[in-house]
A = this chain, B = another copy of it.
Amino acid sequence: MADIKDVAKRAGVSISTVSRVINNSKNVSSELSVKVERAIEDLGYSTNQIARGLKISRTNNIAVIITSVARTFFTPVLEGIHKEADKKGYFIVIAETHDSFEKEENLVNLFASQWVDGIILASSAYGDDLSRKKYVKSLRELKKKDIRIPVVTLEFAFENSGVDAVVIDHEKAAYEAVSYLIQKAGRRDIIHVSLPAEHRMGQQRIRGYRRALEDHGIEIREDYIIEGDYTTYSGYKAMKRAIEAGQRFDAIFCANDQMAVGALKACEEQGIQVPDQAAVIGNDDVFAASIVTPALSSIYVPKFELGAIALKRLEELMDASNAGRTIKSKVITLDTKIVERESTCKGAKNSLKYLEW
């Protein structure tokens, strides 16, 4: 771990010269250039990116903050991000919040401390209290020296926050899923295994669920909305309890695929035929949906594109802020669509998601 001083000494030149060689080799005689390069080679020197970033306010790094890599939802999102990032030579660093708001704040601060030029964020900042408002505001004020560190939010947007986002319409997606269950699959007693109550995305999906029932003249029963927590086990537990309690239902709409897989297993264990006795549909269309039996119907979300588009948008913002321009924030909404498999429709052919895995 030699530093630039060592290199300068070894090459017998000034630090400035070494710096020139490292950064562009312009305006330096080929003679010195060679000397410097040899010194670098000999010492195994590599420049300290952090010190450099401290000085020039540009790092070429981008942070992606997600809740957990265990949510396989994020895997293709990350691929999309990487694909775009590779084109421009950005480095991607990932961090997990495990749904802790405190951790999220700390990570944002950490990364904003000259680590990165931009942040892609799948936030778990729920609620509308003061601290959250301050936090969201701070997201717009991140900067190193005078240039802004832009933030693009994934999956959902902070309303009227001025923070860019790439999202899907969760309410609409849920509405379509439930309508599908009613119209195409002919079901009426539909249980919804939801996300944690305070999660915005979950609330939006619940709204879609309610609206679909209403529009089809089906009574809404509050006890048919059971709270889950993203994990397979929570879906399993929720449905196991419902079944054991003798709850009557002919369909299950889960707010994500993991919970749907859990629901599937609970049905299997309790001898409930899927889809005959209960149709099951998930949300996200992760790879696991297509490898379970029966294959799981789901709502396809363009995950790869979500990541790729988020990165592209982030780039626009970074370029603008580098050029000293300000550009108006916007929210980009991506379309979803129903993927029909065996868990809702006997004999449906399985579209092989596992190829993406």
A-side residues, CB < 8 A to B, are 1, 44, 46-51, 53-54, 61, 69-70, 72, 74-75, 78-79, 82, 91-96, 98, 106-107, 109-110, 112-115, 134, 138, 141-144, 231-233, 236, 258, 261-262, 265, 287-288, 291-293, 352, 354-355, 357
Contacts and interface: CB of A to CB of B under 8 A. Distances in A.
Nearest to A78: B69
Contacts of A265: 291, 352, 354
Contact of A95 (B1, B92, B233, B352): B92
Contacts of A292: 291-293
Contact of A48 (B75, B93, B113): B113
Given A92-B95, A96-B78, A261 B69 contact: no
Given A49-B113, A115-B115, A288-B288, 7 more contacts: A1-B144, A48-B113, A54-B54, A82-B98, A232-B357, A233-B355, A292-B292
A79 B236 CA distance: 21
Contact of A261 (B96, B107, B109, B354): B354
Contacts of A82: 96, 98
Total copies of the chain: 2
A115 B46 contact: no
A94 B91 contact: no
A130 to B, nearest CB: 13
A48 B94 contact: no
A95 B98 contact: no
Contacts of A236: 354-355
A50 B53 contact: yes
Contacts of A114: 48, 50-51
Given A288-B288, A293-B293, A354-B265, A91 B110 contact: yes
Given A115-B50, A231-B357, A357-B258, A94 B69 contact: yes
Contacts of A95: 91-94
A69 B74 contact: yes
A53 B48 CA distance: 12
Interface centre among A50, A82, A96 (most CB of B within 10 A): A50
Contacts of A96: 78, 82, 92, 94
Closest 10 pairs between A and B when the two form their complex, measured CB to CB: A293-B293, A94-B94, A48-B113, A232-B357, A50-B114, A49-B113, A69-B69, A50-B113, A1-B143, A46-B109
Nearest to A262: B354
Contacts of A79: 70
Contacts of A53: 50
A304 B117 CA distance: 33
Contacts of A143: 1
16 contacts: A1-B141, A1-B144, A49-B110, A50-B53, A50-B113, A51-B113, A70-B78, A82-B98, A93-B95, A94-B95, A115-B115, A232-B287, A236-B354, A261-B354, A262-B354, A288-B291
A231 B321 CA distance: 39
Given A69-B74, A82-B96, A95-B92, A110 B232 contact: no
Contacts of A231: 357
Contacts of A75: 69-70
A265 B112 CA distance: 45
A355 B240 CA distance: 14
A87 B12 CA distance: 48
Contact of A44 (B110, B138, B258): B138
